[in-house]
Copies of this chain bind each other. A is one copy, B any other.
């Protein structure tokens, strides 16, 4: 069971000339997963906004993703650093792993501020979820 999961309904215009979901769309879907995961930790879209800067991403395109059935975007693990989180994620469609990735998110102390320690409530929420 994934620790966090959100569902994407692929859109017809996200397919490419070869009939499957464009490679350029997959990073955007992982971002949706990241954003919703961070909101879930912080209490939803209405909560006080924390600023996370995406420092890097990595994606393996394991298999083709298609239009016509839902895709599960999962956060499978999180490594907590001093000022950053490393998220590990997967895309699944029809019981098949189609992409795997990771990203590094740096916690910023507001606009114009520099790196700041990952807040304790976030550390605790992650520890509880990935125990």
Residues of A within 8 A of B (CB): 11-13, 15-17, 19, 22-25, 27-28, 31-32, 35, 45-46, 53-61, 67-68
> Interface on chain A toward B: helix, strand, loop, or mixed SS?
mixed
Q: Give A31's nearest chain B residue, CB to CB.
A: B24
Q: How many copies does the complex hold?
A: 4
| B residues near A56, Cβ cutoff 8 Å | 58-61
Answer whether A23 and B31 are a contact pair too, CB < 8 Å, given A45-B68, A56-B61, A61-B56: yes
11 new A-B contacts, CB < 8 A, other than A12-B32, A16-B17, A24-B31, are: A12-B17, A13-B16, A17-B17, A23-B27, A23-B54, A24-B28, A27-B27, A53-B61, A56-B60, A57-B57, A57-B58
